[in-house]
Structure 1
Amino acid sequence: MNKIFTFIFLSIGQLLVGQTAFHNFGDIQIHDEGKIGFHTNLINDGMFNSNLGLAGFYGEDLLNVSGTSIAEFYNSEIDVLDGLNLETSMGVYNTLEFINGKVFTPRNDLDITLDFLQANYNGESDYEHVDGYAALFGNIDFTFPIGDEDKLRPLSISKPNSISTFKSAYFYEDPNSPTTFTTLFDTNSFAPILSKVNDKEFWDLDGDQAVEVTLTWDLDSDIKNLTEDIELLRVVGWNNKTLRWDSLGRNDVSGDLEEGDITSISFVPDDYEVLTIAAEPSGNDFTINTGFSPNGDGLNDYFEIAGLDLSQENSIEVFDRWGELVYEKQNYDNTWGGISENSITVTEGIVVPVGTYYFLLELKDKITKKNRTYRGWVYINY
């Protein structure tokens, strides 16, 4: 690997190269095929953002990038065993190569990020990634090379409709007691269609354009504590308005209980504080027609739950995939024909669209007089 120091001045300025820092006060440009290698800290207080060629960071001890201006490189590579610490943002236009070491950004300051300006990267691993926030400026499918300490846990987004900025970081910590957020993300507070929320990890994703999001899991995610069936997994987001985890659905899921990934439906990340993985319930003790067709043909037109006569009192609530209530009734008598009673997501008084719906059934046992709660799902088709 050639580490050649080649640069040209665009205008006369002050440039100091010493044992502790390469300090730019003026205007510098790396020309096409030019290369510059930093074996010391970079302080950029001038113009250093119209570059071609390669800028590399090399060494064993931690290096710092700081200053009042953002340095933006065409190609860059990181080969610093103890890592590269960003005290101001740094951008890459074309390709970033992770060779050795992580890129550190502060988790309590989203204004400092490693910026991918429609750029790509290579070489990411458990020991080479962004420990903190990475940012994308563009409109491409993109996977953030993010992690926490020696754990790479990428997050992917689908291509947004327009050029936008997205920022993301991964947190290997309990969302009930986050270290850099003032909000506590209570994993016992969730939409009724969910049964359990992961308390091992979470991601932060910021952006104002609708995208699909893919999260990953590994053994440390303890997915088996959520469910034995990965088909019941869902992406969830913390809703600051309702103070609960909402389901963001599942468009795709693959893997097993030890390792895999899950893709959400499309949503706007800024509507949710953080994201993680949760599970929906696997069933209940009743005999339920898990699919019915309210088309008026006299066959299987109603949502029926056999065994409700075991309870003198019951109540049921039915929710769509967004967690919005579409139907509720005290002392349910198996007569719901798929008509919406709420106009938030489905016009009130019409039959709900084809899809999976989730119910929350509460009943009082005749003998013990205690309330019992059951969660489940039903598929509606025509």
Structure 2
Amino acid sequence: MEKMTTIKIISVLTVLHVASYVCGQTVNTGALTIAPDTQVSTLGDFDNRAGGDMINDGEFFVYGHFKNDGLLSFSPGQATGLVRFEGMYGAQDISGEGLSEFFGVRFDNPATQPAFRLSGDITVNGNAQFVDGIVYNRSGGGLVDFGPEASHEQVSDRSFVDGQVRKTGDAPFDYPVGNGGYYRGASASGLSDIEGYFTSNYTLENSDARHSHFNKEERIVFIDNEEYWEINRTGGTSDMVLSLTWHEETTPAELLSEEDGKAIHIVRWDGAKGLWVDEGGVENHEEQMVTTAVSGYGIFTLAKVLDEEKPDNSLEVYNGISPNGDGKNDFFYLKGIEHYPDNTVEVYNRWGVLVYEAKGYNNTDVRFNGYSRGRATINKGKLLPTGTYFYILKYKAEDGRAKDRSGYLYIN
């Protein structure tokens, strides 16, 4: 049977390779270090006062409220450290004026939702586990920030962030956001700026109350009147590829009904123009997703739009590649592209990472043969894995008009 102790931390305390269970409120005003392979639990509230300095490289169990007004982090270069919020007495407050820097964090509280009321700022540098319990920061002012290499898992309707989530860097990321009991993440990727960041949240409400659906471009037929996402570039200069999904329980049936001559696109409220604008998009019915490169930021949602004019008859896209050297479908073939030499081609993976780009695509010495060659991509020069990709073709028509086409590309 493990020993039960009561500790009130009022000065320097370093914990090394022991398991300690703390009853009542735990107050730290000095320095507290939890070493790797060490477990420390506070059954009551935890209060890291101003001047308190906590380094967690082990496992820290928090069963009550959590407040950090001091310094709280993990050792530089140490890829360990897990803070486990596992409430025993109901909903937990996560608050404080100090930035709580976690390597890993686990949210697991089956209390009445929302289980976690966030009013302080937390940063995740490793992995966040959304097991049970909604993290609510919609009104408390707190921010969940994911670092450049951070990730998350197990997000569901039972556990997500109801409010602001920020992601730093250009790595692809699925924002773990939701509202009204639904996880409705948005997948986004910055294209070139590892120092930039985007902030996102989701609201299960009609955006018409904020921005009238009557004010829209003519080709927009119907705007989703049940939900919207707000995504802003709050740092850096990067562009973004955005994917939004539809869901039968939150997305209106009018939007999802199939109609000839109409498609589902992503639309954005353009404050400068004072109307909703069509950002375009390609539908993936298997994943119930629409993807496009966006031209601005702010309020986004899905909409039914009139299909664009028929493409030039002389231009045909073959959207399958099997780069195995047998001479059949070895590259991305754009039949007739030689008639439009003023063109650019971009290819993105399903996470919005640019894997190929070219100007003056011509099917001969400038062509995509399944190898990674993008300015913002990794593993340049390597054959890309089998899967579904997204292409954007921009070209100048014979009458001088700028035109574009987009769609899915399959590599096998």
Q: Could you say whether these structures have the same fold, taking a TM-score greater than 0.5 normalized by the shorter chain as the test? A: yes
Name the SS of the counterpart of 1:195 in structure 2. strand
Residues 292 and 55 of structure 1, relative CA distance in 2, 3 Å threshold: closer
| TM-fit CA distance, 1:227 | 4.7
Residue deviations 1:4-62 (CA, integer Å, cap 9, x gap)? 9999858x934897944433333433353x11111111111111134541111111411
The structure 2 residue matched to 1:123, chosen from 148, 154, 157, is 154
Judge conservation of contact 2:66–2:94 (CA < 8 Å) in 1: yes
Residues 1:158 and 2:189 are matched in the alignment: yes
Per-residue deviation, 1:63? 0.6
* TM-aligned CA distance change 1:291 to 1:169, over 3 Å: closer
Picking from 24, 38, 41, the partner of 2:62 is 38
Q: Hey, what's the Cα distance between the residues in 1 that align with 2:81 and 2:162?
A: 26
- Alignment match of 2:402 (pick from 330, 353, 356): 353
AA aligned to 1:248 is E
Q: CA deviation at 1:352?
A: 1.0
Tell me the equivalent position of 1:57. 85
- Helix, strand or coil at the partner of 2:220: coil
Query: Higher relative CO (CA 8 A, sep ≥ 6), structure 1 or 2?
Result: 1
The answer for unaligned runs of 5 or more in structure 1 is 178-183, 284-288, 296-344, 357-382
- Listed one character per residue, the Cα deviations across residues 59-78 of structure 1 (whole Å, up to 9, x for unaligned) are 14111111111111111111
1:149 offset after TM fit, Å?
2.8
- TM-score scaled by length of structure 1: 0.66
Where 1:224 maps in the other structure, the secondary structure is helix
Q: Secondary structure at the match of 1:140?
A: coil
Q: What's 2:263 paired with? A: 232
Counterpart for residue 201 of structure 1: 227
**Structure-1 separation of matches of 2:151 and 2:310:** 45
Instruction: Tell me the amino acid that sits aligned with residue 171 of structure 2.
Output: I
CA 1:222–1:31: 2 relative to 1, 3 Å: closer
What are the equivalent positions in structure 2 for 1:1-382 lying under 5 Å apart? 13-14=29-30, 19-32=44-57, 34-51=58-75, 52-60=80-88, 61-82=90-111, 83-107=115-139, 109=141, 112-118=142-148, 119-162=150-193, 163-177=195-209, 184-207=210-233, 208-219=237-248, 220-225=250-255, 227-229=257-259, 232-250=263-281, 252-255=282-285, 260-269=288-297, 273-281=298-306, 290=310, 351-355=400-404
In the superposition, relative to structure 1, how do residues 20 and 35 fare at CA in structure 2: closer, same or farther (>3 Å)?
A: closer
Moved more, 50-59 or 64-73: 50-59
Contact 1:22 1:40 in 2 (8 A): no
Deviations along 1:311-333, one digit per CA (max 9) or x if unpaired, are xxxxxxxxxxxxxxxxxxxxxxx
**Counterpart-to-counterpart distance in 2, 1:278 and 1:212:** 17
Maintained 8 Å contact 2:223/2:303: yes
SS at match of 1:97: strand
- Letter paired with 1:153: R
Amino acid of the structure 2 residue aligned with 1:142 = F
Mapped contact 1:236–1:276 kept (Cα < 8 A): yes
- Per-residue CA distance 1:256-275 (angstroms, 9 max, x = gap): 7xx71101124342xxx300
AA matched with 2:402: P
User: Secondary structure of the equivalent of 2:131?
Assistant: strand
- 3-state DSSP of counterpart to 1:176: helix
Q: Give distance in 1, aligned partners of 2:31 and 2:64.
A: 14
CA spacing shift, 1:14–1:260, aligned 2, 3 Å: same
In structure 2, the CA distance between the partners of 1:143 and 1:66, relative to structure 1 (3 Å rule), is same
**Cα deviation code 1:156-195 (max 9, x no counterpart):** 1024311212111111111122xxxxxx211121112221
Change (3 A) 1:108 1:277: farther
SS of match in other structure, 2:199: strand
Q: Call closer, same or farther: CA 1:130–1:121 in 2, change over 3 Å.
A: same
Report the AA paired with residue 122 of structure 2: M
Give the TM-score normalised by the residue count of structure 2: 0.61
CA distance in 1 between partners of 2:311 and 2:284 (Å): 25
Aligned residues: 285
| Aligned amino acid, residue 170 of structure 1 | Y
Pick the structure with greater CA Rg. Answer: 1
Unaligned runs of 5+ in 2: 15-27, 33-41, 316-393, 406-412
Cα contact 1:238–1:246 (8 A) shared by 2: yes
Alpha-carbon distance in 2 for matches of 1:155, 1:225: 18
Whole-angstrom distance in 2 between the partners of 1:189 and 1:95: 42
